[in-house]
Structure 1
Amino acid sequence: MKIRVMVVEDEPPIQRSICQKIEETNKNFTVVAAIDNGKDALQYLKEHPVDVMFVDMNLPIVGGKELLDFCSNEELSVLPVVLSGYTDFEYVKCAITNHAIDYLLKPLKVQELKLVLEKIEEKIQKQYLKEKVQNLTDAVRGLEMFPTKEIPSEVNSSYSILLVSLGMCLYENERNYQEIFKNMDLEKAFSLIVPPENFWLVDGKSINEKLIFIRKDSIPDTNHLNQFFRKVKCSDIIVTVVYYKETVELPDIFSTYHLLQKYTREHMIFLKNSVLIYSSEEFRQDFSDLRNKIDRLILQCKNANIDNIIESFAQLLHLLTMRPIIQKEALRNIKYFVSEIYKLYPGNREFFEVEEDIQFILENYYSEKELLKEFNFLLKDIFGIAMYDSGDKKIIALKIKNYLDEMFRTNITNQLLAARFGFVPSYIVSIFKTYYGLTPMDYLVKKRIDESKFLLANSSLKIKEVANEVGYEDSLYFSKVFKKITGVSPKEYIRSEKIDS
């Protein structure tokens, strides 16, 4: 959670220094506004949320004291830190009256600032936790999220908890979890097995989670849970439901919630939706037979080519999906497979870099087909070049060149070449440059400029028309590229050709 900071200081050099020191001293703070007068600061506070305000007392138009009074009178949640070049008693008194976190003298000392930021961070985290507990408690009691439900005068404070978790993408913004949950319609599906007045649906702390609190007199059995689960399956993402069957008192809700989060991470089934009943006992599966099968797949790769390795990996993936295997065990076996292939063939990248790629793929793709595609690219990137002899590489490079010569007028990228020829972009670039001394994109530019030179010298086409003819939609960009390659603009080139002729 980033803590939003506003700095109000009228001297630009000092303002810049304060902003820089805040963000460098503690990475959890971000300066969202730097303002040089109290009037604009007042307006900003009215329109934008701010967590912390560093304010100079001696400001133009509206002073620091008025700014602090405004925050206090409006009961804003912003935490003030007073800045001043003087140890003036009135300023100190004003800071204390308005509950300022601290009073700092300019220029700021890094160690003092560090302590103040840590104090602010601790205070905000405590306040956030307090609000979260209150919101969750109110939601459980039906006072906020479902105000239309009839709540008995004596609310039962014991609940069982259901955690619904979607597969988490590393880049959270790439998935609209809110829309996914809307389409799943959890409340409607769950009301088929538990009366609506006996459960409450609450947002989890993470954007990919929902919590369902169930009154202890309406606890569903496993068959009913599976019925609910069949109604909410989502086709393009993994859904894991963890049920804490025992009842929980309100004060223990958060500790139980964190327990369920951890349990979900450790027991999520690889590439499969699942309903799990929480158990405090750890049941360890015997994976020795699986490891023996993987070792046999690795032996198949000895003295083989890249296609054999990819086929062996496909068999590995099939083994991991034949029966329920937890995600972390699948990750462990996939890393083991790749590390053993490294012992047979030298990869062109360090294994620790590949481990990060493996982790990324497994946390962002949710079907066997998608995983095969991504790992095919990855394995070719690691081992592909070393396994082709020079004759094969030369043929591949020639095919790429012929394609560029034929299609140079179209929009071509390294990604497009990778998809067409079945290799990762870095592999395409490496092979092509080995035989032609240029990257595919540099060769493409050269081809286009050579063709444009011929058209400019031997046709009546206008510069814009020539640009379009060789694949540039923007004639200005074409002119810029042309001059960079030839040293002259298209107009200058035309004039020089006329003079020569």
Structure 2
Amino acid sequence: MKIRVLVVEDEPPIQRSICQKIEESNENFKVIAAIDNGKDAIQYLIEHPVDVMFVDMNLPIVSGKEILKFCYSEKLPVLPVVLSGYTDFEYVKCAVANHAVDYLLKPLNSQELTILLQKIEARIRKQQQEEKVQNLTDAVKGLHTLQTKETRPEMDPSYSMLLVTLGACPYENERNYRELFEKLDLGGNFSQIVPKENFWLVNGKNINEKIIFVRRDRVPDINHLNQFVRSLKFPGLTITVVFYKEAVKMTDIFATYHLLQKYAREHMIFLKNSVLIYSPEGFKPDFTGLREKIDSLILQCNNMSINNITGSFADLLHLFTVRPVTQKEAVRNIKYFVSELYKVHQGHRGFFEVEEDIQFILENYYTEEELLKEFDFLLKDIFGIEVYDSRDKKLIAVKMKNYLDEKFRTNVTNQLLAASFGFVPSYLVSIFKACYGLTPMDYLVTKRIDEAKILLADGSLKIKDIASGVGYEDSLYFSKVFKKFTGVSPKEYVKSNK
């Protein structure tokens, strides 16, 4: 799209020369109007969108100085370039005060003009990109985006959408998804199949999601999408991409985004990165014979020792990886496997309690090796010899609480707790929750929010410093968590305390 230029100059020969030089110096600029007085120029600016204005300071009726003041006071989205035959200090001062891009002397120097136009183009393209991303972000959030004279509306804009999801569940306190996305470099990898100017990367409402909007004339095919996903190598996390092939208008983005979220939850593949093409009917994976094979494994466990039972669980995981099985189907069958074991072996803990542990493990670990380690410990804890009595578990929970009270300002994770206390994360989560009614990560957030309330009530520190002081590097993320737990933003909390 051409960059729209208004030239305001009262001397016809100079006006024609300026218009010609602008279009010759950079083909991406188009002079859409040339006006010889300040009054008509202001009227034109009110009625028409303009990107750049070259304005002479000495104009009849209304001066260039008054035009600059008008643009600045009305916050018009136009970049002014001041033209003058003089180096008068007052003109320069006026140009600076009203945020002019530059101050050029007449007659225009071609080399200076070319450099200036390049600088202006880079600035405008960057602004257009930011506006595009903001409009798409607002659409994802369900906010109504109004077209004004300050925006550059497209003719019936429509896009193709891709939802990128890390893992199966956005445990906000367990993983730093912002850092993970930075390491994955989605934009850089996607630009290998679609040029950067033809797609926009936007945050989803969940922190483990990103949305890619692609111009309809540059939609990649399935082979290129598979190439894109193969380039996203990150150990310990599955990556699911849901592709909506049909055209999506701006007004339909919010609804389509929710369709893709639901589709990802229903159809993401267990322990594998995948590209899914959205279909209203969904795909129908073939699970024929799967339950019979699981029942056969359970039957083998009747007279087995606990060590052999964990070996059977390894066989169960293998069943889910030799062919694509959805995350949902795998979770359902793993819970079924453990519940059936209760019928042939006496467990030390009730299945209802254990079911939460199973859910936690399957939403936090995404490799066979990690799952085998976690379930080996869990199954031995349920069906093996009970090594730790309730007093021992209480002592471990108390030590964890003391550890969290001391370290809450640092980046504590369940994995770090496991390394510190010598047990798998799911076991530590279960005994801490049994003792305190919260998971360690929920307790950690509660501790941070309580400390933040004290610092906010004091009123002497900036929100950014408070966020850092209670363990959040990202102040925006801190504000989101604070509002989730308290119902108000940090700023609103400060005002209410005042």
**Normalised TM-score (structure 2):** 0.49
